[in-house]
Structure 1
Amino acid sequence: MRFGNALVNISACCRRLPLASRPLESLIRFQSSTNTAVLLQKNLAQRNNSLYNYGNDTLRCTILDSQGNVGTPSLEVKREDLISMHGLLPRDLRKIEKSRKKDLVPILLVRENSIFISLLTMRALVKSDQVILFDSVGLSLESRAHRTFLNDLTMRLRNQDGNGISKDPLPYEFRALESIFVSALSNMSAEMKVHLTLTRGILQDLEYSITRDKLRFLLIQNKRLSQFYKKTSLMGEMIDDLLEQDDVLSDMYLSSKCTGKFRDEKDHTEIEMLLETYYAHVDEIVQTVGNTISDVRTTEEIINIILDANRNQLMLLGLRFSIGLLSMGCVLYVASLYGMNLENFIEEGDHGFILIVVVGVISMSLTFGYSIRQLHRLQKMTLTESSKGHV
């Protein structure tokens, strides 16, 4: 405020100065506008950093202990502390720092004593006795989906008997991964139902009438469906690649490493069965969405065929009008010749008018009939006839 008041006082004084001192006033105004622009840029940069965590040395995360108890939500943890405490690499956190609300590429990285997984909006660091959930941008702790995921994760990590449910024999890290996969698949299934309902509805409406608005909505929905298909396909490819790497699967047994029991590369039955189960669900979603995209493409091809047929009918109608005008032109030509103010032998007879009318009608009929016959011949032309003609 003091700086702004000083600028106002200086500018007021400059107005009282003679014309020779006016360049000083313009210079002060230029500096004032420059300072304002710099302040606005700094405010925007700070706002973007607070939203996306760009340029900050801390990450927001929620930590769950070995008993599934949730610590302080959205806890600010330094980037260097995460790397040093959990044996990560600086590039492992790049996925989190540059994250948005949705990311198409899923990732599952296995380190010495941790597993980093990124599925849809969920990003977590799983250890043998701890789970760190990184809070994505726009993921509110009060959202229903996030509360459901936290409750399921807490229940699976506690692994207590009760309500007729026995303890899960899977280790701590696999129970955490299972909860993440279940939440991701439930979100994908819900999103798939929305896309399928909208797509099938517009396809049914197109069976009764084809309008511009419906075609535009179908185009938009097809783009969204293709994006969702790409997202599910990438998740399936990620799981498939993991199933083919025996050494990575055996390294995912973090609890065994902590107890000093190193497993053989072929001894990974539990995690293999777990991944195969969720791969089957992902593949089912991929096949369902793929079939819907195929239906959309088939509908688009049928619509294009119908539009081509309508264009052909309009062209034929225009050709028929052109043929009729050409035939009438022959009559008009004969009539113009007869109507000239020139002497000819027809004027001497009594049947000149009838002769001209008959000649005009005959010429018009012959021209119209020949042109229509040629048009029908082009309509009935087949591939065999065209190939014979080229030979």
Structure 2
Amino acid sequence: MGRDVVPVDPSQPAVGLKKTKARGWIRLDSSGQDTILDVDKYAIMHRVHIHARDLRILDPLLSYPSTILGRENAIVVNLEHIKAIITAEEVLLRDPSDDNVIPVVEELRRRLPLLNNTREDHGEGKELGGQNDGEAGEEDESPFEFRALEVALEAICSFLAARTTELETSAYPALDELTSKISSRNLDRVRKLKSGMTRLTARVQKVRDELEQLLDDDDDMADLYLSRKLSSASPLSGSAAASWFISSPNISSKISRASRASMATIRGDENDVEELEMLLEAYFMQIDGTLNKLTTLREYIDDTEDYINIQLDNHRNQLIQLELFLSSGTVCLSIYSLVAAIFGMNIPYTWNDNHGYMFKWVVSLSGIASAVLFLLIISYARLKGLVGS
């Protein structure tokens, strides 16, 4: 395995990352030292002892939803762009040159050495019988895998929260502009924002559901205690020990660190998952807050749609009013035309003799009656609220 590991040159970190952009892995141990791994999937499977179906979840070419799986010797983490395998002593992170993954790598480099050194100092203080700060001591009891998992959860929650903030910054002004002026451009802009919000909501919902599923099942959370399982299985048999030495030569260091990290837990209940439960609850509340923001934005979009529909209904009513006016005018003109046509026919009538003035009076009176009827129709429409004043 040594010939597959290429150490990172501190003076040229970017070059090393670019070489493994397509399918590279980066390994970070408990001391914060990072190493670029250019190996195939079989070497990864042999190193961390997981099945091919678990490694397939981390394939960037395949679309798998966000998930956190606890295995015998590793935690498989697939959270959007964060695809990692966490063991009791190291973190294997995929595609370290990705723009979204680089901050995660930097955070692991920054936090793991500090936390590890603090844990060692706290352990030495215990041996000497010294008394350390209560909060620091409580922090130092967290196993390595929980610290690495916390970095991944913090990164994905911050990433989704940032995307939600960007969406809110673009959506609310666009919705207000659409409310003030309905146009094809504004409608298309809001349509795109709504599509993006729907996709982002689905991503946030999946992460939230995964955390909620873990919190609801104590057995699944217990599977994530790798240090506890490693320390309880420290007396290895001959074949098992040989297999472990091949994949991970620092067995003695692993057993001692895992035993020290989970000493308080082993003395208590084996099924005690309170520490992990508090960790998951913190980020569950954070991702739930992000989902609530998206829900509020969706409600604002729905309210805007209702307002737009009301405006469209108002325009439709105005068109109906115009149609009513035209129909009323047509009826009045039809009455006038009917009277004029009857008295204007070239047919001899006995009652028409010496009464030519009657034609003029009747036609005039029919025109006046038509105009009065039109005014009465408009007054009735205003009275019923069908026409604005």
Please give the alpha-carbon distance, in whole angstroms, between the structure 2 residues aligned to 1:346 and 1:196: 82
How far did 1:211 drift?
1.5
Counterpart of 1:246 in structure 2 is: 218
Alignment counterpart, residue 133 of structure 1, candidates 88, 93, 107 = 93
CA deviation after TM superposition for structure 1 residue 377, in Å: 8.3
Partner amino acid for 1:110? G
**Cα deviation digits, residues 169-209 of structure 1 (max 9, x gap):** 22110110011111111111111111001111112212322
Report the Cα distance in structure 2 between the residues aligned to 1:121 and 1:218, rounded to whole angstroms.
Answer: 27
1:359 is displaced (CA, Å) by: 4.0
The answer to whether the 8 Å contact 2:179/2:307 transfers is: no
Q: Could you say what secondary structure the match of 1:77 adopts?
A: coil
Tell me if structure 1 keeps the 8 A contact 2:81–2:101. no
Q: Is 1:276 matched with 2:281?
A: yes
Matched-pair contact (CA < 8 Å) for 2:108–2:148: yes
Deviations 1:67-122 (A, max 9, x none): 121102xx33222222233221221122223546xx67211010001000111111
Confirm whether residue 123 of structure 1 aligns to residue 83 of structure 2: yes
Separation (CA, whole Å) in 2 of partners of 1:257 and 1:360:
103
Cα separation, partners in 2 of 1:293 and 1:265, compared to 1, 3 Å: farther
After TM superposition, the score normalised by the length of structure 2 is 0.73
Select 2:295's aligned residue among 282, 290, 295: 290
Query: Higher relative contact order by CA 8 Å / sep ≥ 6: 1 or 2?
Result: 2
* Structure 2: unaligned runs, 5 residues or longer: 1-19, 122-132, 233-258, 260-265
* Residue 322, structure 1, aligned to residue 277, structure 2: no
Q: Report how far residue 64 of structure 1 moved.
A: 1.3
Q: Which residue of 2 aligns with 1:233?
A: 205
Are residues 61 and 326 of structure 1, via their aligned partners in 2, closer, same or farther at CA, if it must alter by over 3 Å? same
Matched, 1:176 2:140: no
The alignment partner of 2:39 has SS state of strand
What is the root-mean-square deviation of aligned Cα atoms in Å? 2.9
Matched, 1:313 2:318: yes
Q: After TM superposition, give the deviation of residue 283 of structure 1 in Å.
A: 0.6
Unmatched runs of 5 consecutive residues or more in structure 1: 1-50, 54-58, 381-391
Separation in structure 2 between the aligned mates of residue 176 and residue 331 of structure 1, nearest angstrom: 90
Deviation readout 1:215-255 (Å, 9 max, x if unpaired): 11111101111111111111111101101111121221111
Q: Which residue of 2 aligns with 1:192?
A: 164
Residue number among 112, 123, 133 corresponding to 1:157 in the alignment? 112
1:60 corresponds to 2:24 = yes
- Alpha-carbon contact 2:211-2:280 (below 8 Å) kept: yes
Instruction: Specify the code of the residue in structure 2 equivalent to 1:87.
Output: H
SS at match of 1:97: coil
Q: Aligned partners of 1:347 and 1:355: how far apart in 2?
A: 15
SS at match of 1:207: helix
Q: Which residue of 2 aligns with 1:346?
A: 352
Distance 1:71 1:347 in 2: 120
**How many equivalent residue pairs?**
316
Moved more, 277-286 or 212-221: 212-221
In structure 2, the partner of 1:20 is: none
Any idea what SS the aligned residue of 1:132 has?
Answer: strand
- 1:385: which partner in 2? none
Look up the match of 2:339.
334
1:354 CA drift (Å): 3.5
Q: In structure 2, what is the Cα distance between the partners aligned to 1:76 and 1:325?
A: 85
Kindly indicate whether the alpha-carbon contact (under 8 Å) linking 2:179 and 2:304 is maintained by their aligned counterparts in 1. no
| Corresponding residue SS for 1:361 | helix
Secondary structure at the counterpart of residue 222 of structure 1: helix
Aligned residues of 1:104 and 1:234 also touching (Cα < 8 A): no
Match of 1:88 in 2: 50
Counterpart code for 2:103 = T
Q: Distance in 2 between matches of 1:219 and 1:269?
A: 44
How much does 1:358 deviate?
3.9
Identity within the alignment, %: 26
Pair 1:311–1:104, CA change in 2 (3 A): farther
Counterpart position of 1:114: 74
Partner Cα separation in structure 1 for residue 346 and residue 58 of structure 2: 95
Give the residue type in structure 1 aligned to 2:97: S
Measured after TM superposition, the shift of residue 280 of structure 1 is 0.5
- After TM superposition, the structure 1 = structure 2 runs for residues 214-225 of structure 1, keeping only pairs within 5 Å, are 214-225=186-197
Q: Distance in 2 between matches of 1:321 and 1:193?
A: 52
The answer on whether the counterparts of 1:246 and 1:265 sit within 8 Å (CA) in structure 2 is: no
User: Structure 1: which amino acid aligns with 2:359?
Assistant: F
**Contact kept? 1:242, 1:248, Cα under 8 Å:** yes
